[in-house]
Structure 1
Amino acid sequence: MSNNISFNNINKTPVRTKSWLKVNDVTLKNYNSPEIGEFNNYKITGNELEGVTVEEFKKGKIFPLNKKFVYGASEELVNQGEFDFNRGFLINIEKRARIQDPIILEFNMDKENSTLVDNILVVAEEGSEAKIIIKYNSKDEVEGYHNGVCKIFSKNDSNIQVVKVNLLNGNTVNIDSNLSDINSYGKVEFVSIDLGGKVSVTNYHGDLIEDSSESKLSSIYLGGDKKVIDMNYIVTHRGIRSKSQITTRGALKGEASKIFRGTIDFKRGASKSKGAEDEYCMILSPKVKAKALPLLLCDEDDVSGEHAAASGKIDENKLFYLMSRGLSYNDARRVIIEGAFNPIIDKVVDDSTKNEILAVIKGCLDNE
């Protein structure tokens, strides 16, 4: 597969702001994507559940519900994910099926499987309910490349949760573009656990296209060394009485940097809709860089929108209290950070995955 892809000015904001702020997009300097080989190290759990169909998705197959990305990491990267992928899956939840156990797709990168371009389609039929976990792991320290696209189609009165878990090693570039198309009374909860990679560029667009649709996005991120974290979260309100919530918590140490972009866009006709976003970054080192751009866009009068973004050091009083009870500095700091992360981590219904997440957090915070 071709590797002639530009990584300049990717993950663009829906509207441009002052260029000197350097938050409109991100450029991966001196990076060229590798040749995309085969990827065969993956595992699927839950595909045998009644009401669930998981089938491999082949290149060139026409999918009738396909929807074009308006926002993605970039047109080139999205095209690679949609047309030049080396793993693709279609997950279908049948009409009125209520799936209790999670459906888990696990991709394990290693020396023989170091490049992954995945195309995942999730269709929640009318009145259905399910939880899907998509995990990206590294089994060794090989330099890796991941570019994923995921489209979620939530039909009338469906309730779908998709959790993306990035546990890749510190030698991997991770790029992930996600889109939700949400119909009347449909609900999509998208959860991003972004802990791995030397670069992690993530993107989500929730499109609330019909009345009383709902999108919730919850994410955590953790950066150390010189890791680059770039987030671009967008919710478009089109239907009447649609609702959205963006909640992000993160921590940075070493010389890590992050940009958070959160946009709630009320289109004309989305009257009586409500949207809110909130991002908080914990600063663990004086050398980190943390930028945030929360945006509210509005073409409709009768709506309610809230936004907030902040960053700061861990509360010294909390640290002192925990250390006075016998905890070391690292353990006390980890308890505080996990306390901020846990409401989002608890959304992961698979205990094994949850334990992996907590182990990676502990390892990152203990590794000074």
Structure 2
Amino acid sequence: MSVETSFKYDKEYVTKFSQSRQEPQWLLELRVKAAELVNQLPMPKPDKTKIDKWNLTEFNHVSAANVTAGGELPEKVQALMPEGEQAGNLLVIQNGQTVHVSLTEELAAQGVIFTDLATAVEKHGELVQAYFMKEGVAVDEHKLTALHAALVSNGAFLYVPKNVEVSAPLQAIYYSDDASVGLVNHVIIAAEDNSSVTYVENYLSTTGEEEAVANIVSEVFAGAGAKVVYGAVDNLAKGTTTYVNRRGRVGRDARIEWALGQLNDGNTVSDNTTHLVGDGSFADTKTVNIGKENQKQNFVAQIFHHGKNSEGYILTHGVMKDEATSIFNGITKIEYGATKSNGEQTERVLMLSEKARGDANPILLIDEDDVTAGHAASVGRIDPIQLFYLMSRGISKAEAERLIIHGFLGPVVKEMPLESVKNRLVEVIERKVR
């Protein structure tokens, strides 16, 4: 389906939508500005991937269906819901509508905020305004960021005050069973100085091959000395065309660790960018992907070094099956003045069929002399020696391939910060591999 240039949700529509939710004036003005920009800005142009015929703009904005009660959610969703002490810190959103939100009294007493974005705008508007699409993802980057700002319907807001260390992971589940409604989701994580938090999210849809659209943005801010661990498993259905932009800013002696299982079944464009703005800042990005059938995907993982003595690591592992095509671009940029910085990256792609295509591109952009940087990349098929060794032990060829693939993807899988999500990632990998 060709993308139409005309944006059917004009500024009058977004004005009425914002007013119906009683949103503050700053958000209303931002939505209106974004709606005006949608028709003016070009689509993003991911390297070596043509998206001009992908449908990323045509969808219904809100769902006419009512969401279900938490106990009536599908079994796949309930299986992701944590138990024990972790069950008290959970957000579930279905078709853009909040189904469940909880935060333990202990964390609330320490000033932690964890709620859906719509509630955060209502109750903590000034705090949301300080972070929403300012220093992370900009409204005017391209057509899809403007569309996102105009129509964002829900998401998560997580705020951790200074010196507060959150030991138990906080989890969000975003579930869609209505293909007609666009998933326009926005996540903000703000960890103030010397705080720490682990956030894990699951994207899940059961819409099969029905045409659907997802436009997802996450903005993560780690203040001086703070630590944020961000885990995700993306598993949207085959008919869903996805644009996802995850952006991080890291302060002095702070760190962000990304562990991303990008396992959508449909066409996907993904941008994961981290800016190391403070001296001594640190970022570690681990991504796993499996492409199958005739999927087309484009993944960018990039780290920009601005501060001195900053460290950035990128590790990407992808498996391509059938006629799937994926581009993996890893970019390390060390800016002028970021002395003593270190940037390392590795992209590895395993292809399981003659028609599968994987393109791994490690890129180093160095504007400073006194730094260290390195990269590695490989694209190839299963090692026949490994396969022979396993089969010589009485293991079938199909089972041997499965074991090799799990071992190949292991470095990311083991980094998942929540056991239930790790199990979910293994489950999705198993299904896609078979």
Under a length normalisation based on structure 2, what TM-score does the superposition of the two structures give?
0.76
1:216 aligns with: 284
- Higher radius of gyration, 1 or 2: 2
1:16 aligns with: none
1:165 correspondence with 2:190 = no
Show CA shifts across 1:185-222 (max 9, x none): 01001121011131111101111111000111100000
1:65 correspondence with 2:131 = yes
1:47 aligns with: 103
What letter is aligned with 1:322?
A: L
Deviation at 1:40, TM superposition (A): 4.1
Show CA shifts across 1:110-130 (max 9, x none): 027742101111001111111
Show CA shifts across 1:258-281 (max 9, x none): 111111111111000000110000
Show CA shifts across 1:7-41 (max 9, x none): 976254xxxxxxxxxx3554242535322224346
Change (3 A) 1:192 1:97: same
Secondary structure of the 1:64 match is helix
Secondary structure of the 2:131 match is coil
1:280 correspondence with 2:348 = yes
Counterpart contact for 1:168–1:196, Cα < 8 Å: yes
| Greater alpha carbon shift after TM alignment, 65-74 vs 140-149 | 65-74
Q: How far apart are the structure 2 equivalents of 1:28 and 1:341?
A: 31
Q: Which one has the bigger helix percentage?
A: 2
1:296 aligns with: 364
Deviation at 1:138, TM superposition (A): 1.4
Equivalent residue for 2:201, pick from 134, 138, 141: 134
Q: How far apart are the structure 1 equivalents of 2:271 and 2:230?
A: 14
Q: Which one has the bigger strand percentage?
A: 1
2:27 aligns with: none
Equivalent residue for 2:9, pick from 2, 9, 30: 2
| Greater alpha carbon shift after TM alignment, 150-159 vs 58-67 | 58-67
| Greater alpha carbon shift after TM alignment, 43-52 vs 131-140 | 43-52
Show CA shifts across 1:231-281 (max 9, x none): 112211110000000000010011000111111111111000000110000
Matches within 5 A, 1:200-349: 200-349=268-417
Equivalent residue for 2:244, pick from 149, 153, 176: 176
Q: How far apart are the structure 1 equivalents of 2:371 and 2:170?
A: 36
1:188 aligns with: 256
1:29 correspondence with 2:53 = yes
2:167 aligns with: 100
Q: How far apart are the structure 2 equivalents of 1:72 and 1:205?
A: 16
| Greater alpha carbon shift after TM alignment, 201-210 vs 74-83 | 74-83
Q: How far apart are the structure 2 equivalents of 1:263 and 1:134?
A: 25
Query: What is the aligned residue count?
Result: 356
Secondary structure of the 2:130 match is coil
Matches within 5 A, 1:137-156: 137-141=204-208, 142-156=210-224
Q: How far apart are the structure 1 equivalents of 2:428 and 2:323?
A: 19
Change (3 A) 1:6 1:291: farther
Secondary structure of the 2:152 match is coil
What letter is aligned with 2:115?
A: E
Secondary structure of the 1:226 match is coil
Under a length normalisation based on structure 1, what TM-score does the superposition of the two structures give?
0.89
What letter is aligned with 2:113?
A: T
Change (3 A) 1:307 1:328: same
Q: How far apart are the structure 1 equivalents of 2:139 and 2:323?
A: 27
Q: How far apart are the structure 1 equivalents of 2:330 and 2:39?
A: 26
Deviation at 1:345, TM superposition (A): 1.0
Q: How far apart are the structure 1 equivalents of 2:162 and 2:145?
A: 29
Secondary structure of the 2:233 match is strand
Change (3 A) 1:253 1:69: same
Q: How far apart are the structure 1 equivalents of 2:432 and 2:318?
A: 13
Secondary structure of the 1:169 match is coil
Change (3 A) 1:357 1:43: farther
Q: How far apart are the structure 1 equivalents of 2:294 and 2:351?
A: 14
Q: How far apart are the structure 2 equivalents of 1:73 and 1:310?
A: 35
Secondary structure of the 1:272 match is coil
Change (3 A) 1:73 1:308: farther
Deviation at 1:164, TM superposition (A): 2.1
- The gaps in structure 2 that reach 5 residues or longer are 1-7, 11-37, 64-94
What letter is aligned with 1:260?
A: F
Counterpart contact for 2:217–2:244, Cα < 8 Å: yes
- The gaps in structure 1 that reach 5 residues or longer are 13-22
Deviation at 1:45, TM superposition (A): 6.8
CA RMSD of aligned residues (A): 2.6
1:56 correspondence with 2:116 = yes
1:15 aligns with: none
Q: How far apart are the structure 1 equivalents of 2:58 and 2:41?
A: 9
| Greater alpha carbon shift after TM alignment, 214-223 vs 93-102 | 93-102
